[in-house]
């Protein structure tokens, strides 16, 4: 467990062709990028289920700022990847795996957000930046962020 992996879903991009340390870093970033969308979706779905009782595609679309067909296609991919289950014209459910990923993402998001605020950032900007940064923070960095956020 070196870089950002978070029990990644992967399968794509033939690794190995490493050699260069730089190349490895870029490959790690590309791997993280492939999971970003899934992470944001399951995190949002968990939140909707918690606050609204259910996760409807229309609400996902609104919160994500995309159109309904985009959500539909993305949900199909998440289902294919075993993170959610869904039935036609019904709202969405997380699988065990999806729930685990959501929890992990929520946790990471929370730490990055608190860290940025602790650093002195306004909550608005902190929320924006955390939404992007959270996917590129290794376990080590996360631990340091948490320590900083919790320091008295």
Partner DNA sequence: GCTAAAAGTTAGACGAAGCTAACAATCTGC
Partner DNA sequence: GCAGATTGTTAGCTTCGTCTAACTTTTAGC
Residues of this chain that interact with its own copies (CB under 8 A) are 2-4, 17-29, 32-33, 36, 40, 62-66, 116, 119-122, 124-125, 127-129, 131-133, 135-138, 140-141, 144-145, 148
The correct pick among 18, 25, 72, 147 for binding DNA (CB under 7 A) is 72
User: From CA 144, how far away is CA 138, in angstroms rounded?
Assistant: 10
**Cα separation of 76 and 72, whole Å?**
6
Near DNA in 24-63, by CB under 7 A:
30, 34, 36-38, 56-59
Q: What angle do CA 91, 107, 57 make, to 5 degrees?
A: 15
Min CB(86)–its own copies separation in Å:
21
d(CA 112, CA 105): 11
Nearest alpha carbon to residue 100 among 83, 125, 117, 114: 83
Among 40, 78, 94, 101, binds Mn ion (CB under 5 A): 40
- Interaction site with DNA (CB under 7 A): 12-14, 17, 30, 34, 36-38, 56-59, 66-70, 72-75, 77, 86, 88-91
């Amino acid at each position: 467990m070196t870089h950002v992996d978070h029990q990644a879903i992967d399968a794509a991009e033939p690794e190995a062709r490493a050699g260069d340390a730089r190349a490895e870093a870029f490959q790690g970033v590309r791997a993280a990028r492939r999971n970003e969308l899934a992470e944001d979706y399951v995190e949002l779905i968990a939140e909707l289920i918690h606050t609204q009782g259910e996760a409807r595609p229309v609400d996902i679309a609104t919160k994500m700022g995309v159109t309904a067909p985009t959500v539909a296609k993305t949900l199909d991919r998440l289902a294919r990847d075993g993170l959610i289950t869904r039935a036609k014209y019904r709202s969405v459910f997380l699988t065990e795996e999806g729930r685990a990923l959501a929890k992990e993402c929520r946790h990471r998001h929370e730490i990055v957000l608190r860290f940025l605020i602790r650093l002195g950032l306004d909550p608005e900007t902190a929320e924006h930046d955390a939404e992007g940064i959270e996917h590129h923070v290794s376990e080590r960095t996360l631990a340091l962020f948490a320590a900083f956020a919790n320091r008295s």
